[in-house]
Amino acid sequence: MIGAPQYLLTLYIAEREGDEETPISPGYVADALDRSPPAATERLQNLDAKGLVEYEPYEGATLTAEGRDAAADLYDTYRTLSRFCRDVLGLDDHEDEAMQLVGNVSRTVAERLAATLLRDEADGSTETGSQSSPDTLAE
């Protein structure tokens, strides 16, 4: 299910990677999440009402400080989930799967999953034999 976490994360990634100039257009968000532009606009307006983004009609959205903090936490979880989906489950579409799951996994589960993945890597027992560093969790 696509909800607020996915929208925040999409904005965060776009800002972080410089995929799009800020503010991020609703069309960009809609394309990234496979939603219609009106649905993306409505969700961005809702996030604006909650103080997580600043939304300007015909311009787009920018994360607020509160929204950026929330999105940074989601990004950490997303990276862990993406790595799990890639290295353990062997999924080609690991980033899409991680995007679907983010926001539905508690911080505790994400932290323990990350610790397990790192421990398995240190032991050399990752299923795919990947020796990625912690900084490349979502490559």
In a domain, 133, yes or no: no
What sign has the CA pseudo-torsion 55, 46, 99, 110?
positive
CATH number for the domain harbouring residue 57: 1.10.10.10
In a domain, 134, yes or no: no
| Host H or E run for residue 56 | strand 53-56
Q: Which of 24, 26, 3, 30 is nearest to 12 (CA)?
A: 24
Q: What is the pLDDT along the chain (139 residues), one digit of tens a residue?
A: 689 999 999 999 999 888 667 899 999 999 999 999 999 999 999 999 999 999 999 899 999 999 999 999 999 999 999 999 999 999 999 999 999 999 999 989 999 999 988 887 766 654 444 434 334 333 3
The count of domains in the chain is 2
In a domain, 131, yes or no: no
In a domain, 135, yes or no: no
In a domain, 33, yes or no: yes
39 and 25 share one domain: yes
**Residue 133 C-beta-side C-alpha neighbours within 13 Å:** 1
Q: Domain range spanning residue 103?
A: 68-113
In a domain, 123, yes or no: no
pLDDT of residue 138: 39
pLDDT of residue 133: 36
Look at residues 45, 64, 83 and tell me which one is the last residue of a structural domain: 64
pLDDT of residue 121: 73
pLDDT of residue 78: 95
53 and 34 share one domain: yes
In a domain, 47, yes or no: yes
53 and 79 share one domain: no
